[in-house]
């Protein structure tokens, strides 16, 4: 969740979040941290950038957690719809 929040809120474009996320991974590698280059970090960076650029509104009357919940529910619905379409094509 650290990558989601920090990288996502700092860089709301996918390209910037990916570039900065990679820089963080390199720093972790140089510091011999075992978490360097973990695949979930890249995915978290991407999700964070998507959330903060397309869903989060600091002026909203919805709380941060409500906005976050809506974001993940919508992603789940899109995923389920995609799975259903793929199943129908088989």
CA gap 34, 48 in Å, rounded: 22
pLDDT digits (tens, 9 = 90+) for 32-55: 988 888 888 888 888 888 898 889
Tell whether the model's pLDDT for residue 73 goes beyond 90: yes
pLDDT at residue 11 in the model? 65
Query: Does residue 33 sit in the same domain as residue 76?
Result: no
How many domains does the chain contain in total?
A: 2
Query: Does residue 64 sit in the same domain as residue 47?
Result: no
- Across 15-21, average pLDDT: 76
Query: Does residue 48 sit in the same domain as residue 66?
Result: no
- Across 63-85, average pLDDT: 93
Range of the domain at 73: 59-90
CA gap 51, 49 in Å, rounded: 6
Tell whether the model's pLDDT for residue 13 goes beyond 70: no
Query: Does residue 47 sit in the same domain as residue 87?
Result: no
pLDDT at residue 67 in the model? 96
Ordered alpha helix ranges (H), the chain? 2-10, 14-30, 39-54, 64-89
């Amino acid at each position: 969740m650290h990558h989601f929040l920090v990288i996502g809120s700092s860089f709301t474009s996918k390209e910037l979040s990916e570039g900065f996320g990679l820089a963080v991974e390199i720093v972790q590698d140089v510091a011999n941290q075992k978490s360097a280059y973990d695949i979930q970090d890249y995915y978290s960076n991407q999700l964070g950038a998507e959330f903060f650029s397309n869903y989060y509104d600091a002026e909203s009357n919805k709380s941060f957690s409500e906005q976050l919940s809506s974001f993940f529910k919508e992603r789940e619905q899109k995923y389920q719809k995609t799975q259903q379409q793929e199943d129908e094509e088989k």
